[in-house]
């Protein structure tokens, strides 16, 4: 992964203590509540479609269309959200998004008509679209330097932990024969939103995440999205993010489960267990991986991630060659475990690079571009997967995923030629004091 700087390797426990000690107080507050915030999302994420169709009695096609509102609205508001972050600050945008999320979940908990459910899902999608660039910008405003890459990685592990635990609790508690249990989990999701709300109104009320006025008193230069996208490094990072999401997260909701059931012919229990394996690997390995990639070029870490994902897709393809037996089950589970290892390489690098490319006055827009690329890949992924699997093109599906991994590696090499050294994880030596 490139010629690394000399880095002292320590055991994970020591690294955790040193990382926590190095964090500013605001960073500790942000990180300490992540798992609680996302636990509520885990309560409802796997069960929203079931709730709409089996509990509220909406037709399956209508329920799917309603669910799509989250992604569509999120994509539509991402760019305006990034601009608002740069103008009013990340904290202000996060507060608005959290209020929308709480209102959306409370509305959905008692929605008995498609119109009311649609309103609720629009509010949830609005929060999804504006909170991503705002939250990443707030992190970047609080945590700087090499700590930023570690922070994004650990934050990702805690998000997975919260969603995973929430999913287990929701699965044990929710019962379609008792509609009140579904009302309870959506109310629970809303209540967990009060944790970050209290954090932003309390200990973090002074961290606005907005760039200050230049020292010379002049107004900051307004930079639009087109200006930012004219930079080759931004364009290649955006394209890499889109392809990475298309062959990665964009397959989790449709492509992977569809292939596992149709081509590999494994049980739904195996599919559920595979997602548990994914969460466990991320939570267990993320800090060790952060320790290993410290000092390496981020573009080379991306290439390693692409290689790991190619192996993962190959394992899933093997499950489709020998369907219905122990080898298929092992291939499906191994796919999710190896894929998770690749995720631990991806998540610390892309957001850290995007924020290192940005200035304080453009951080919201840079994060919005990355978020839009992610959301675009998440929308396109299921569409392509559904078409290929519906037409019994399982082999072509796996081949396309592997080709995407090769494309990521090639794009990372091109990106390396354009991205500044500091944004690629290699800080330049400080100039001597004159």
Task: Kindly report the CATH number assigned to the domain that includes residue 133.
Answer: 1.20.1250.20
As a whole number, mean pLDDT of residues 238-251 equals: 92
Q: Is the pLDDT of residue 7 over 60?
A: no
Whether 433 shows a pLDDT value over 90: the answer reads no
Total-model pTM: 0.81
* 249 and 170 part of one domain: no
Domain match, 193 and 291 both: no
Predicted local distance difference test score (pLDDT) of residue 211: 58
Is 19 inside any structural domain?
no
**Range with the poorest average pLDDT among 137-141, 143-147, 158-162, 289-293:** 143-147
> Considering the domain boundaries, does residue 389 fall inside one?
yes
Residues 252 and 378 in one domain: yes
- Among 144, 137, 120, smallest CA distance to 84 is for 137
- Do residues 373 and 304 both lie within one domain? yes
Q: Is 259 inside a domain boundary?
A: yes
Helix (H, G, I), strand (E, B) or coil at 178: strand
Flag whether 433 is in a domain: no
Residue 276, pLDDT score: 85
SS3 assignment, position 297: coil
pLDDT at 49: 80
| Residue 213 belongs to a domain | no
pLDDT at 176: 81
Residue 83 lies in a domain: yes
Residues 408, 304 share a domain: yes
At 364-408, the pLDDT tens digits run 899 999 989 988 888 888 888 888 888 889 999 999 999 999 999
Which residues have CB under 8 Å from 319's CB, separation 6+?
Answer: 260, 263, 264, 266, 327, 328, 329, 330, 331, 332, 335
Task: Output the CA torsion sign for 93, 95, 98, 102.
Answer: negative
- Do 192 and 260 sit in the same domain of this protein? no
- Residue with the two structure tokens 């999401």: 245
In terms of residues, how long is the chain?
434
Q: How confident is the model at residue 431 (pLDDT cuts 50, 70, 90)?
A: very low
Are 231 and 190 within one domain? no
Whether 172 and 244 map to the same domain: the answer is no
Query: Could you tell me if 232 and 200 lie in one domain?
Result: no
Q: 167-171, 177-181, 313-317, 333-337: which has the minimum mean pLDDT? A: 167-171
Q: What is the mean pLDDT of residues 117-129?
A: 94
Domain of residue 82 covers 24-146+164-205
CA distance 55 to 115: 16
Q: Tabulate helix, strand, coil % of the chain (nearest 5).
A: 80, 0, 20
Residue 260 and residue 169 share a domain: no
Per-residue pLDDT at 275 exceeds 80: yes
As a whole number, mean pLDDT of residues 34-41 equals 84
Task: Assess whether 199 and 245 both reside in one domain.
Answer: no
Angle between helices 268-293 and 255-262 (to 10 degrees): 130
Closest by CA to 247, choosing from 235, 238, 256, is 256
> What integer pLDDT is reported at residue 432 of this predicted model?
39
Q: Are residue 239 and residue 186 in the same domain, yes or no?
A: no
pLDDT band at 430 (very low <50, low <70, confident <90, very high): very low
The answer to whether the CB of 160 falls within 8 A of the CB of 375 is no
Domain count, the chain: 2
The reply to whether 218 falls in a domain is: no
- Winning range, highest mean pLDDT, from 145-159, 207-221, 286-300, 322-336: 322-336
* pLDDT grade for 113, boundaries at 50, 70 and 90: very high
* Cβ partners under 8 Å of residue 19, min gap 6: 147, 150, 154
The answer to whether position 14 is within a domain reads no
């Amino acid at each position: 992964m490139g010629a690394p700087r000399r880095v002292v390797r320590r055991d994970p426990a020591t690294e955790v203590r040193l990382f926590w000690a190095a964090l500013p107080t605001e960073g500790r507050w942000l990180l300490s509540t992540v798992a609680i915030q996302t636990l509520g999302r885990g309560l409802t994420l796997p069960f929203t479609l079931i709730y709409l169709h089996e509990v509220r009695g909406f037709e399956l096609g209508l329920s799917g269309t309603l669910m799509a509102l989250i992604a569509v609205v999120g994509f539509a508001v991402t760019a305006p959200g990034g601009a608002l972050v740069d103008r009013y600050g990340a904290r202000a945008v996060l507060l608005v998004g959290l209020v929308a999320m709480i209102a959306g979940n409370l509305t959905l908990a008692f929605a008995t008509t498609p119109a009311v459910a649609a309103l609720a899902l629009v509010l949830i999608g609005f929060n999804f679209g504006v909170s991503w660039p705002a939250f990443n910008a707030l992190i970047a405003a609080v945590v700087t330097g090499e700590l930023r890459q570690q922070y994004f990685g650990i934050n990702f592990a805690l998000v997975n932990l919260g969603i995973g635990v929430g999913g287990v609790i929701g699965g044990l508690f929710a019962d379609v024969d008792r509609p009140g249990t579904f009302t309870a989990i959506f109310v629970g999701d809303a209540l967990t939103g009060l944790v970050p709300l209290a954090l932003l109104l309390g200990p973090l009320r002074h961290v606005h995440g907005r760039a200050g006025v230049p020292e010379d008193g002049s107004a900051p230069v307004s930079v639009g999205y087109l200006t930012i996208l004219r930079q080759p490094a931004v364009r290649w990072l955006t394209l890499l993010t889109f392809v990475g999401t298309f062959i990665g997260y964009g397959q989790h909701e449709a492509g992977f489960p569809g292939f596992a059931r149709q081509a590999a012919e494994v049980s739904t229990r195996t599919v559920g267990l595979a997602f548990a394996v994914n969460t466990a690997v991320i939570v267990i390995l993320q800090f060790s991986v952060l320790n290993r990639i410290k000092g390496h070029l981020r573009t080379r870490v991306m290439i390693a991630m692409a290689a790991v994902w190619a192996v993962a897709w190959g394992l899933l393809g093997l499950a489709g060659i020998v369907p219905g037996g122990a080898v298929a089950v092992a291939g499906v589970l191994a796919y999710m475990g190896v894929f998770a290892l690749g995720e631990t390489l991806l998540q610390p690098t892309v957001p850290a690079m995007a924020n290192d490319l940005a200035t304080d006055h453009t951080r919201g827009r840079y994060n919005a571009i990355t978020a839009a690329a992610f959301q675009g890949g998440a929308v396109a992924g299921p569409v392509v997967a559904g078409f290929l699997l519906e037409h019994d093109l399982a082999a072509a599906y796996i081949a396309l995923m592997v080709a995407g991994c090769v494309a990521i590696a090639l794009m990372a090499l091109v990106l390396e030629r354009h991205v500044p050294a500091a944004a690629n994880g290699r800080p330049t030596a400080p100039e001597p004091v004159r």
